[in-house]
Amino acid sequence: MRVQEFTQADLEARLSAGPLPGNLANAMRSIHTCGDAREQLEQTQRVLVRLQQYIEGLRTATKANLCRDLYEGMLIGHIQAISSTLRAQVPRVTVPYMEARDLVADILYRGIRHKTGSPHRKVNDLWGDEDEPLFTAGKLTRTQAQGKDSHGSIRGLRYDEAIRTGAINPAGRVEVTSKKKGALGVDGGKQFGQVVAQMLMQNGLERMKDGGQGAIILIARNANHAGRAQHIVEPAVEKGFACHVAMNVTEPGHRTALEPDGTEAFIGTNPHGYGIPTMDETGNLYCEGATTETTEGNCKVSSDNGLPVPYGFVHTHDRRPTTDPGVLYRSGKKGFVLPHGSDYSRYKGGMFGIGVELFVDAASGATEHEVLVPAGNNIFATICEVGKETHQLLSQRVAAMANSPTVSHEPVRLPSRQGKRKLEEARQSGVTIAEKTWNMLLKRQQELRRE
């Protein structure tokens, strides 16, 4: 389906080529008379639903296909253009990097004290001087600085809530539960997911430091939301190892994704990521992503800030595409996030989502309770030795990719390079955060100060 924005003149030309019932044609004409972008977006979506219902009722495939070609792609393109404009216009504030980190850390510290009645004490031997809340706040702020709102500062509010409900145990000790040749497993003790992932990597790298190991499999159970895959594999990649991680991610109490033809969400967004050590001046390469069209975190940030998501990424409970991320969170029948892929290949995203979910369950020895009552992450990772000659080869291959020709004549956008640049800028000039998100964080800090 060809997707494009439309003008009033374009609409009239299309109506001449493929007439529609008068009331539907007039509804389309009314789109451009709407007062503002948000009202226009809502009206366009209403008209699209009416058009799709009209097409479904047509008796001839020829006429149905004509209507799809003339109108459906046009309306979807208009929805995407308005949605993109609204997302770009969201008010944002710029905050000094350390101030952003310290606000999230303060919320976590105060939340722990409110829950336990005493200040937090470090229980895990993390590399460096940071304790668990400060380490976690640092990861969230770094993510925010790299332009990833979905896994950034706003997660501090969700972790605070998880502390209150007991889903996160800040006193949890990450314990090694199994050591075998070429494999290591830990129990996260319901600790912050970033801490569990870091301790998993630290233990794995200790096993790899003497060389000769070749590769090691790492498995963690009972972790909470572990954040970005890139940040999990970085400790290994910075030491010259190749690293892969996969997580079966579910929000407490419900899942958000489904297989392409399903009517009920039964898997998580289930991301995986790869770290490729080039060990050169341009920096290592990181590739990561969910197996769904968008992350649940992106839907949450958008919902909290009153923003649309791209059309078709989210469906209502009755399988209607929508730009409203709020359908994931309202009471009653919930919507869901679609697997990654086009209409013709979405089964591939669903296949990988199911594969990650079940493989990580199998490798981590998930219990029946964990499967029936989702609460966080189980993690599967591998660390592999890479020789110096292979480092050089990887560096050359990445350079060749970066310098390959493009239709736009713009440089190839390699994964993680833009995030690296944004992080460097944010450390100097400050972190940009949606204004409403920042105000929500400040409000929660004040609430905890009064409690």
Which pLDDT score, from 0 to 100, does residue 192 have? 96
Angle at CA of residue 161, ends 146 and 219, nearest 5°: 65
Which pLDDT score, from 0 to 100, does residue 368 have? 67
Bridge pairing between strands 183-187 and 336-337: unpaired
Which range, of 160-164, 178-182, 268-272, 366-370, averages the lowest pLDDT? 366-370
How far is Cα 351 from Cα 6, in angstroms, rounded to an integer?
35
**What does the pLDDT look like over 272-283, one tens digit per residue?**
999 999 988 888
How far is Cα 247 from Cα 230, in angstroms, rounded to an integer?
12
Mean per-residue pLDDT for 137-141?
97
Name the pLDDT band for 156 (thresholds 50, 70, 90): very high
How far is Cα 421 from Cα 277, in angstroms, rounded to an integer?
18
Q: What's the DSSP call for residue 187?
A: E
Instruction: State the DSSP H helix or E strand holding residue 378, giving kind and residue range, or none if neither.
Output: strand 377-384
Which one is predicted more confidently, 254 or 368?
A: 368
**What does the pLDDT look like over 47-58, one tens digit per residue?**
999 999 999 898
How far is Cα 349 from Cα 258, in angstroms, rounded to an integer?
10
Which range, of 51-55, 316-320, 325-329, averages the lowest pLDDT? 316-320
Q: Quote the percentage of the chain above a pLDDT of 90.
A: 50
- Highest mean pLDDT, choosing among 22-31, 333-342, 372-381: 22-31
Q: Quote the percentage of the chain above a pLDDT of 70.
A: 93
Bridge pairing between strands 183-187 and 215-223: parallel
Q: What are the backbone angles phi and psi of residue 382, rounded to the nearest 5°?
A: -135, 140
Asked if residues 167 and 224 have their Cβ atoms less than 8 Å apart, the reply is: yes
Tokens 């001046």, residue? 281
Listed by start position, the domains of the chain span 8-88, 92-171+416-451, 174-292+339-387
Name the pLDDT band for 408 (thresholds 50, 70, 90): confident
Asked if residues 256 and 337 have their Cβ atoms less than 8 Å apart, the reply is: yes
Name the pLDDT band for 20 (thresholds 50, 70, 90): confident
Which pLDDT score, from 0 to 100, does residue 397 have? 93
Which one is predicted more confidently, 211 or 127?
A: 127
Chain mean pLDDT for the chain = 89
What are the Cα distances from residue 150, in Å, to 146, 203, 282, 297?
A: 11, 28, 26, 4
CATH code reported for the domain at 174-292+339-387: 3.30.1370.60
Which pLDDT score, from 0 to 100, does residue 170 have? 96
Inform me whether the pLDDT recorded for 109 exceeds 60: yes
Instruction: State the DSSP H helix or E strand holding residue 156, giving kind and residue range, or none if neither.
Output: helix 155-165
Name the pLDDT band for 141 (thresholds 50, 70, 90): very high
Q: Where are the alpha helices (DSSP H) in 209-311?
A: 229-237, 296-304
Which pLDDT score, from 0 to 100, does residue 370 have? 63
Asked if residues 317 and 333 have their Cβ atoms less than 8 Å apart, the reply is: yes
Q: Classify the C-alpha dihedral 22-23-25-30 as positive or negative.
A: positive
Which pLDDT score, from 0 to 100, does residue 2 have? 43
Q: What is the three-class DSSP state of 276?
A: strand
CATH code reported for the domain at 92-171+416-451: 1.10.1530.10
**What does the pLDDT look like over 212-260, one tens digit per residue?**
679 999 999 999 999 999 999 999 999 999 999 999 876 654 567 766 5
How far is Cα 345 from Cα 260, in angstroms, rounded to an integer?
9
How far is Cα 24 from Cα 336, in angstroms, rounded to an integer?
29
How far is Cα 304 from Cα 325, in angstroms, rounded to an integer?
9
Mean per-residue pLDDT for 404-427?
90
Torsion angle defined by CA atoms of residues 306, 311, 315 and 320, in that order, rounded to the nearest 10 degrees: 120
How far is Cα 97 from Cα 329, in angstroms, rounded to an integer?
31
Name the pLDDT band for 184 (thresholds 50, 70, 90): very high
Tokens 């799809």, residue? 68
**What does the pLDDT look like over 350-366, one tens digit per residue?**
888 888 888 888 888 77
Bridge pairing between strands 183-187 and 175-180: antiparallel
